[in-house]
Amino acid sequence: MNIFSPSTEEETGEVVRAALAGEQTLDIIGGGTRSGLGRPSSADIAVSTRGLSGVRFYEPAELVLAAGAGTPLVTINEMLDEQQQELAFEPVDHAVLYGGSPQSGTLGGLIAVNASGPRRIKAGAARDHLLGFRAINGRGEVFKSGGRVMKNVTGYDMCKLMAGSHGTFGILSEITLKVLPRAETEQTVVLVGLDDGEAVEVMTTVSGTGYEVSGFAHIPATGEGFSSPVPASLSDHAVTALRLEGPERPVQVRRRELVEFLAGPGRQIETVDHGPSRELWTGIRDVLPMSGQEDQVWRISTAPTKGALLVRDLVREEVPVTYHYYDRAGGLIWLAVAPAADAHADVVRRLVDRHGGHATLVRAADDVRARVPVFHPQSPALAALTKRLRESFDPHLILNRGRIRSDL
């Protein structure tokens, strides 16, 4: 396969128009860290965004940066770090789950999958931080949307569409993002030994209080073959983790108050300090427990109170769950299952439909992802709209064809 590496939008447009003319399909490649997400592809040619890289501007006082879509995320993170700022949505590094080289993802890739981490519940996902973009559509035309300011309702909010479109609307060339001050410090309050149901109840209760918790996860004890993000002294037990972030003194006060709030007979409560706390949440973000092993992985988004019920029902219906943990107070389930040709999709999706939400098959062998719908099946009306939207950007379906659905 020929991989083109244009260094300008004009060149990118030329490649798209040539592909159109030659009736060829075209894959978009960034850092390659997320190529396992979506259906496997078999495009005729590929475009690398690596030539479309470089920071266009970064204005810390304005909380905004713009950079080429091929800019490595690690470059952005280092630059932000120097100014005590960050991308507040905590973009997941998919290399950990898929076994690529860590931190090699690009800015374009994280927008294409609408990446987010544990802070999603408080700070939003990539969609909520994308202020503007430039891209080349499936006609080979350069177009833009949004801007560089925080508030903008001028025209349709195409930023929301581009985030999570898996490269099926256009090749992103430039991305403008909102950045935010990084918290001075963080601490994690941990409850030890709760079962899933108790944990979800505690997490949803605390999420309705003013302690401003910025991460809610429940991590059952990991079995053989699964890595634990939890500090070694606690890793033999189920751990319910509540993260507090902010300036040093207010965090201490909130931690004290939260521990008092949670205290009860028989409850074991620990505190994890800044360094290990950061490691813990990075592991939760990057799906560390399922790294370095071969099970199929589902990512399920549901209402927080449904999380533990859903896992209970999956086990009852004999889905071979090998490990699972919860983020977003129970609203996000990472589920590892023993590999099967159908990835147990029928049962998983029937139960997810019953409780509400969607299930994405994020890791499975190519042949499985080619057969089993990776993204949650939609109602006929929504599926038809999805197709029309896709065609409104890429009428000949040449960009990342087949990645989101076999007919798209």
Binding to other proteins (CB under 8 A) within 268-327 occurs at: 299, 301-306
Q: Is 93 helix (H, G, I), strand (E, B) or coil?
A: coil
Task: State yes or no: residue 160 binds other proteins (CB under 8 A).
Answer: yes
Which of 68, 283, 357, 402 binds other proteins (CB under 8 A)? It is 357
Q: Which of residues 165-204 bind other proteins (CB under 8 A)?
A: 165-166, 180-181, 204
What is the rounded end-to-end Cα distance, in angstroms, of the chain? Answer: 21
Structure tokens at 124: 């939003």
One-letter-per-residue 3-state SS of 166-186:
CCCCCEEEEEEEECEECCCEE
Contact flag: residue 23 with other proteins (CB under 8 A): yes
Minimum distance between the CB of residue 149 and other proteins, rounded to whole angstroms? Answer: 4
Residue 23 or 224 having the CB closest to other proteins: 23
The CA-based dihedral angle spanning residues 57, 32, 285, 58, taken in that order and rounded to the nearest 10 degrees = 0
Within 10 angstroms of residue 297's Cβ, the number of other Cβ atoms is 25
Contact present, 298 and 328 (Cβ < 8 Å): no
From 106, 145, 187, 214, residue interacting with other proteins (rule: CB under 8 A)? 145
Decide if residue 260 touches other proteins (CB under 8 A): no
Span from 98-106, 222-230, 245-253, 271-279 in contact with other proteins (CB under 8 A): 245-253
Identify which of residues 206 and 272 has a Cβ nearer to other proteins in the complex.
206
For residues 315 and 321, what is the distance between their CA atoms, to the nearest angstrom?
A: 7
Q: C-beta of 87: minimal distance to other proteins in Å?
A: 15
Segment 326-355, which members bind other proteins (CB under 8 A)?
A: 328, 331-332
Task: By CB under 8 A, name the one of 43, 67, 73, 163 that touches other proteins.
Answer: 163
**Among the listed residues 56, 81, 156, 236, the single contact to other proteins using CB under 8 A:** 156
Which of 151, 224, 260, 263 binds other proteins (CB under 8 A)? It is 151
8 A C-beta contact, residue 87 and residue 80: yes
Angle at 278 between CA 276 and CA 284, to 5 degrees: 105
Contacting other proteins (CB under 8 A), which of 148, 237, 274, 371? Answer: 148
105-144: contacts with other proteins (CB under 8 A): 114, 116, 120-121, 124-125, 127-128, 137, 139, 141-144
Buried b (16+ CB within 10 A) or exposed e, 157-186: ebbebbbbbbbbbbbbbbbbbbbeebbebb
> Out of 56, 81, 249, 273, which residue is the one contacting other proteins (CB under 8 A)?
249
What kind and span of H or E run contains 390?
helix 380-393
User: Site residues for other proteins, window 70-99 (CB under 8 A)?
Assistant: 84
> How many Å apart are CA 275 and CA 187, to the nearest integer?
9
Q: Pairing relation of β-strands 130-136 and 332-337? A: unpaired
Name which position in 356, 366, 406, 407 contacts other proteins (CB under 8 A): 356
Determine, following the binding rule CB under 8 A, whether residue 153 of this chain makes contact with other proteins.
Answer: yes
- Mark the segment that binds other proteins (CB under 8 A) among 161-169, 220-228, 229-237, 364-372: 161-169
**In whole angstroms, how close is the CB of 223 to other proteins at the nearest point?**
27
Q: What is the CA radius of gyration of the chain?
A: 21
Sheet holding 185-192, edge to edge: 268-272, 185-192, 239-246, 213-219, 321-327, 332-337, 296-301, 358-363
Which residue in the set 154, 232, 260, 318 belongs to the binding site for other proteins (CB under 8 A)?
154
